[in-house]
């Protein structure tokens, strides 16, 4: 099957910083007209399982359907430090943090503690210690290079790397990023093609997104004038958008030509607007996220939706449909990044209820994108569009007795009931994450998933052995090259 879809030859070097080079004289690889990259931040297999158990749709989601390619992706960083390192050492893969199935699944009991959480088993300790962050993982997905944690589209030396957003923009296509968290957070920042040695340079990243001429749609939180409950601040917080940029956007005089919207009604009108703005920045009336940071969280006990959701901010399906309605005015095609960014935020708070809310909203967005393509909207359909649904990394969410039963599955308590679970961490892990793809060139993923995690029995049951690819190979597939 892999042979049938691979009518070109190429060099595919993973994790070395090498670019993919089509062999001379072969048929040029074709990039689909549209690529829609959907990232549920922090969503490992058990985040999907927990949400599916609660909604009663486990294994019956849109992306579980037969048209979707299913695989797994490794997400390890080049190294776990936060800073660039000069010279060849800066580009070398630290072997202690690559993905090693034997270390990941090591059930040897241990008495150590990581970030305040007892490790219980050597595998838990290793996967926490070797975990990546969203900056370097999203960068690896969109530029094909591993880097250090904190890197936004720069290599291990801190040198900028060309991204898929820039490639598509130069090809005349429209590019956009929408997220449920701050618009310049790691995933939208990297997805937009921005470059920075540190993800924490928020204002500079926002300025680059506005001024680089790569993206024409930006949506998310980070609004200087509003807190996380939609209350107007007396003193603006310019943590994400610099004061000069914000003033210019609000007065409609920003040199980039971006038009600003903030009100939910303006977001709601976008999907069906006849003549939407060509360059639009949508900044919801919230600071850190649309919903996940609202008041009232009780992490240990909070059930999904037990604290009423805000009604004054748009949801992610609406933002995605609005972005599609703008970007699809470009006949050359589009690259759209859609991030369910607050899944990860809820996980950092070990708040399973809000994680399920956020993942459900993300799944509804996959359904909205699928409906858009299924209806051949503006000539965009599954034949000319590649949709990728994956995560940038995992969190260590396991079953209720996973202190003593290594890697225990969640306990399904039925629809509408929170499953039995235990957080073994409040941060990231280095476990594999599920990857789903459908549409043009989706079959190329099958050729990339050639690494075998023989320890992953559960993976094997669900997806046919533990075959996996590396996140850098997502870039290879998006660029139409795929893997040898």
Q: Are 385 and 32 in contact (CB under 8 A)?
A: yes
Q: How far is the CB of 365 from Zn ion (least distance, A)?
A: 19
Segment contacting Zn ion by CB under 5 A, of 19-27, 74-82, 108-116, 339-347 = 339-347
Name the minimum Å distance from CB 199 to Zn ion: 11
Q: Please give the torsion angle defined by the CA atoms of residues 43, 49, 51 and 53, in that order, rounded to the nearest 10 degrees.
A: 180
- According to CB under 5 A, which residues from 7 to 26 bind Zn ion? none
* Closest residue to Zn ion using C-beta atoms: 344
**Cβ nearer to Zn ion, comparing 140 with 443:** 140
Contact between 361 and Zn ion per CB under 5 A: no
Q: Which pair of tokens denotes residue 147?
A: 């880097």
Residue ranges in 71-110 that form contacts with Zn ion under rule CB under 5 A: none
Q: Which stretch binds Zn ion (CB under 5 A): 104-112, 338-346, 376-384, 435-443?
A: 338-346
Stretch that binds Zn ion, among 4-12, 240-248, 300-308, 343-351 (CB under 5 A): 343-351
Q: Is 211 helix (H, G, I), strand (E, B) or coil?
A: helix
| Cβ nearer to Zn ion, comparing 47 with 398 | 47
Q: In angstroms, what is the minimal distance from the CB of 428 to Zn ion?
A: 6
CB of 427 to Zn ion, least distance (A): 7
In the complex with Zn ion, the residue whose CB is nearer, 294 or 345, is 345
The Cα diameter of the chain in Å comes to: 63
> Residue 187 or residue 402: which is nearer to Zn ion going by CB?
187
Q: Are strands 385-390 and 117-118 parallel, antiparallel or unpaired?
A: unpaired
Q: Minimum distance between the CB of residue 436 and Zn ion, rounded to whole angstroms?
A: 21
- DSSP letters along 38-101, please? EEETT--HHHHHHHHHHHT-TT-SGGGSTTSEEEEEE---SBS-SS---SGGGGS--GGGS--H
Query: Would the CA dihedral through 445, 446, 449, 455 be positive or negative?
Result: positive
Which residue number, 344 or 357, has a Cβ lying nearer to Zn ion?
Answer: 344
Binding to Zn ion (CB under 5 A) within 378-437 occurs at none
| Closest approach of Zn ion to the CB of residue 148, in Å | 16
CB of 345 to Zn ion, least distance (A): 7
Backbone phi, then psi, for 361, in 5-degree steps? -65, -40
Least distance to Zn ion from the beta carbon of 52, Å? 21
Instruction: Say whether residue 185 binds Zn ion (CB under 5 A).
Output: no
The number of residues that bind Zn ion (CB under 5 A) is 1
Contact letters (x/-) for Zn ion, 289-328, by CB under 5 A?
A: ----------------------------------------
Gap between the Cα atoms of 407 and 93, Å rounded: 27
- Scanning 221-229, 235-243, 326-334, 337-345 for contacts with Zn ion by CB under 5 A, the matching segment is 337-345
| Cβ proximity of 37 and 187 under 8 Å | no
Residue closer to Zn ion, measured from CB, 344 or 470: 344
- Chain-centre distance of CA 328, in angstroms? 22
E-state strands within 84-167: 113-114, 117-118
Interaction between residue 344 and Zn ion (CB under 5 A): yes
Q: How far is the CB of 344 from Zn ion (least distance, A)?
A: 4
Window contacting Zn ion (CB under 5 A); options: 93-101, 162-170, 270-278, 342-350 = 342-350
- Candidates 96-104, 114-122, 327-335, 340-348; binding stretch for Zn ion (CB under 5 A): 340-348
Q: Which of 129/465 has CB closer to Zn ion?
A: 129
Paired tokens of 153: 């589209």
Residue with tokens 């399973």: 352
336-344, 359-367, 416-424, 454-462 -> range binding Zn ion (CB under 5 A):
336-344
Render the burial of 244-275: b for 16+ CB within 10 Å, e for the rest: ebbebbeeeebebebbbbbebebbeebbeeee
For Zn ion, which is the closer residue by CB, 119 or 344? 344
| CB-nearer residue toward Zn ion: 100 or 344 | 344
Cβ pair 77, 97 in contact under 8 A: yes
Q: How far is CA 427 from the centre of its chain?
A: 16
Asked if residue 125 lies in contact with residue 104, where contact means CB atoms within 8 angstroms, the answer is: no
* Phi (first) and psi of residue 266, to 5 degrees: -70, -40
The least distance separating Zn ion from the CB of residue 355, rounded to whole angstroms, comes to: 12
For 381, counting Cβ atoms within 10 Å of its Cβ (0-12 exposed, 13-18 middle, 19+ buried), the class is middle
By beta-carbon proximity to Zn ion, the closer residue of 348 and 465 is 348
CB count within 10 Å of CB 429 equals 27
Contact residues for Zn ion, defined by CB under 5 A: 344
């Amino acid at each position: 099957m892999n042979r049938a879809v691979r009518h070109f030859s190429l060099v595919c070097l993973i994790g070395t910083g090498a670019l993919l080079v089509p062999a001379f004289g072969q048929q040029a690889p074709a990039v689909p007209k549209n690529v829609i990259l959907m990232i549920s931040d922090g969503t490992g297999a058990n985040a999907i399982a927990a949400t599916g158990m609660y909604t009663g749709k486990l294994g019956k989601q849109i992306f579980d359907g037969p048209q979707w390619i299913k695989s797994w992706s490794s997400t390890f960083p080049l190294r776990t430090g936060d800073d660039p390192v000069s010279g060849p050492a800066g580009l070398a893969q630290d072997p202690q943090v690559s993905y090693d199935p034997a270390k990941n699944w090591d059930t040897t009991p241990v008495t150590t503690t990581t970030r305040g959480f007892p490790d219980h088993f050597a595998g838990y300790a290793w996967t926490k210690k070797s975990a990546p962050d969203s900056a370097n993982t999203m960068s690896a997905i969109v530029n094909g290079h591993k880097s250090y944690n904190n890197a936004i589209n720069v290599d291990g030396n801190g040198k900028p790397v060309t991204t898929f957003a820039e490639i598509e923009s130069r090809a005349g296509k429209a590019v956009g990023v929408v997220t449920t968290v701050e618009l310049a957070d790691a995933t939208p920042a990297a997805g937009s093609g921005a470059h920075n040695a540190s993800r924490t340079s928020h204002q500079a990243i926002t300025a680059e997104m506005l001024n680089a001429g790569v993206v024409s749609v930006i949506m998310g939180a980070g609004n200087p004038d509003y807190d996380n409950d939609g209350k107007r601040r007396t003193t603006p917080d310019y943590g994400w958008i610099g004061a000069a940029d914000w003033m210019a956007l609000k007065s409609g005089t920003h040199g980039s030509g971006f038009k600003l919207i903030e009100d939910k009604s303006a977001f709601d009108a976008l999907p069906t607007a006849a003549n939407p703005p060509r360059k639009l920045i949508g900044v919801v009336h919230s600071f850190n996220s649309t919903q996940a940071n609202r008041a009232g969280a009780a992490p240990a006990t909070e059930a999904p939706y037990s604290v009423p959701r805000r009604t004054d901010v748009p949801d992610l399906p609406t933002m995605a449909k609005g972005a599609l309605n703008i970007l699809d005015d470009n006949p050359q095609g589009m690259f759209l990044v859609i991030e369910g960014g607050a899944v990860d935020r809820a996980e950092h708070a070990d708040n399973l209820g809000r994680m399920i809310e956020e993942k459900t909203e993300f799944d509804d967005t996959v359904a909205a994108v699928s409906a858009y393509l299924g209806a051949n909207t503006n000539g965009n359909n599954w034949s000319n569009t590649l949709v990728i649904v994956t995560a940038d990394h995992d969190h260590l969410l396991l079953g209720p007795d996973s202190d003593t039963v290594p890697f225990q599955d969640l306990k399904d308590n039925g629809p509408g009931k929170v499953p039995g679970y235990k957080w073994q961490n409040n941060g990231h892990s280095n476990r594999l994450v599920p990857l789903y793809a459908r549409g043009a060139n989706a079959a190329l993923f099958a050729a990339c998933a050639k690494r075998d995690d023989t320890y992953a029995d559960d993976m094997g049951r669900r997806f046919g052995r533990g075959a996996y690819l590396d996140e850098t190979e997502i870039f290879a597939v998006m660029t139409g090259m795929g893997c040898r």
